[in-house]
Amino acid sequence: MAKMRVRFPTLVLLLGIVFLMAVSIGIAYGEKNVLKNHERPQEREQEERDPRQQPRPHHQEEQEREHRRESEESQEEEREQRREPRREREQEQQPQHGRREEEEEWQPRRQRPQSRREEREQEQGSSSSSRRQSGYERREQREEREQEQEQGSRSDSRRQRNPYYFSSERFQTLYRNRNGQIRVLERFDQRTNRLENLQNYRIVEFQSKPNTLILPKHSDADYILVVLNGSATITIVNPDKRQSYNLENGDALRLPAGTTSYILNPDDNQNLRVVKLAIPINNPGNFYDFYPSSSKDQQSYFSGFSKNTLEATFNTRYEEIQSILLGNEDEQEDDEQWHGQEQSHQDEGVIVRVSKEQVQELRKYAQSSSRKGKPYESGPFNLRSNKPIYSNKFGNFYEITPDRNPQAQDLDISLTFIEINEGALLLPHYNSKAIFVVVVDEGEGNYELVGIRDQQRQQDEQEVRRYSARLSEGDIFVIPAGHPISINASSNLRLLGFGINADENQRNFLAGSEDNVIRQLDREVKGLIFPGSAEDVERLIKNQQQSYFANAQPQQQQQREREGRHGRRGHISSILSTLY
């Protein structure tokens, strides 16, 4: 028992020591785990900064990327859902038609992109303003657009935007020397297909100085020539006879194709100006002049034959034929020998100078033009030989129709000569079937021609377009059939017109007291087609008491100017009355 008593405390002591050691070991192990848990976030941050230290498993990276992708897709769906109502509101606020998009093509590009809010406000304003827009405002905007187009480069506007106008610069010179020039206008259908029916018509103009002769020639085209300035003597050569005519300002003449002719300017001081309408025979739009003599500008048509043919034709040796008819054409190709020859018509070209004795001889048997009555079957006639068909204090309108002109009847061409006084207006009108080619003889002015924009496109609404241009001497413009036109003269204006397809053409005026088609409409129809009542329309039409020609300055503007002058005088008089 005594031994047991001794061992028991010892055992308890040992157990106590073991317990304390266990507790100590447990505490130490817990502190170590705490330290490890504290160090792990720093280690993960270091691993993210430097993934090469401890690469993560591949499946873990895939899971993380998939999670990020799903998160981004969900966020994008939320943003799209928030934008959808806004987009629907914007679509409701946009205009319902495409006119705005068409107009934006004419606007300059902006310097900076607009925000979505600015664009939405602008579209809302445009839509509301377009709904409030009246017909008068649309017309004003259209006129402003057309004026902006007209204020561009003059040559570009004439060439691109107005296919019916040809400035004097559009002529191409065929021959020119110190004695004069011959030139031809470009083809009418060269710039637009709207004038395809004029592809076989050309305008030719020649000018010559005093005491000069245009050499004999014939052409593969019919001509109708008109003297616009100066005087001339034309000689027409046929196989059995020769006829000469003295031509004055306003005289016209039919010159058939293949007819040999030559024109003399007999005046000592005044230049000659002649305009011709050419109708080619062989090739539409192209014609050629054939000269029997050679010059530096052209070769003789005899030079085109072989020596044997020429010797057989004239029953003479070729050397003699060459010296008499052809000249030394081989030597003419050598500049030194060419300039060393004696001065002759071959040096001058197709327009040569003549002496006064030669002028008198050429005019000895010439006849004058027909000043009265209708034109003869041959010979010249004057455009102003009869009374004008339209006339008042503002202008005169002369016309010779195909049924009154045997020379132009088979060509179906009429001739007009229009005189518009300064400050006057040829009232708006249109031709039923004739196409007129108009040459500005003298003066300045402007014209307005009404057409339809984009006629080839099928549209619910056809938009009217105004073609206009300033006119000066030498310019040419075309009046298509059915197109209303008005002409305003800023100085005394003289116009020569060639009417194509003129048989049974009818000229319809849109204003004035006579020949006014609007005036002839039924009263009920006037009230139906115009915004105003029938009474207002008839009263408006009757306001213009002139016919054909009128004052270009509106009466209301004149009245305002008179009232302005009267008001200034009245204001001054009232001031003086207070002083005295």
Separation in Å, CA 411 to CA 354, 408, 415, 481 = 35, 5, 12, 18
The set of residues, in sequence order, having a beta carbon less than 8 Å from that of 404 and lying 6+ positions away, is 374, 375
pLDDT of 194 above 60: yes
The model's pLDDT over 551-560, given as tens digits with 9 standing for 90+, comes to 998 765 656 6
Give the pLDDT band of residue 494 (cuts 50, 70, 90).
very high
- Whole-number percent of the chain with pLDDT over 70: 64
Nearest-5° Cα angle at 230, 227 to 231:
75
The model's pLDDT over 36-77, given as tens digits with 9 standing for 90+, comes to 454 454 444 444 444 444 444 545 555 666 666 666 666 665
Burial 202-216 (b: 16+ CB within 10 A, else e): bbbbbbbbbbbbbbb
Length of the chain: 580
Burial 72-84 (b: 16+ CB within 10 A, else e): eeeeeeeeeeeee
Mean predicted confidence (pLDDT) in 540-562: 80
Name 259's bridge partners: none
In whole angstroms, what is the distance from residue 218 CA to residue 244 CA? Answer: 16
In order of their start, the domains of the chain are 165-368 (2.60.120.10), 375-554 (2.60.120.10)
Of 323, 246, 234, 314, give the one whose Cα is nearest residue 276: 234
Look at 94 and 265; give whichever has higher pLDDT. Answer: 265
Mean predicted confidence (pLDDT) in 171-179: 94
pLDDT of 505 above 80: yes
Single-letter code of the amino acid located at 21? M
* Structure token digits, residue 488: 């305003």
Position 229 scores a pLDDT of 96
Nearest-5° Cα angle at 498, 404 to 151:
150
The string of DSSP letters for 535-567 reads HHHHHHHHT----SEEESS-HHHHHHHHHHHHH
Instruction: Please report which helix (H) or strand (E) contains residue 486, including its range.
Output: strand 485-489
* Structure token digits, residue 566: 């009267």
Of 175, 219, 183, give the one whose Cα is nearest residue 351: 175
Q: What string of H, E and C letters represents the secondary structure of 401-453?
A: CHHHCHHHHCCCEEEEEEEECCCEEEEEEEECCCEEEEEEEECCEEEEEEEEC
* Structure token digits, residue 315: 């029953």
Mean predicted confidence (pLDDT) in 329-357: 63
In whole angstroms, what is the distance from residue 118 CA to residue 115 CA? Answer: 5
pTM of this prediction?
0.68
* Phi, psi torsion values for 274, nearest 5 degrees: -130, 135
Q: What string of H, E and C letters represents the secondary structure of 91-116?
A: HHHCCCCCHHHHHHCCCCCCCCCCCH
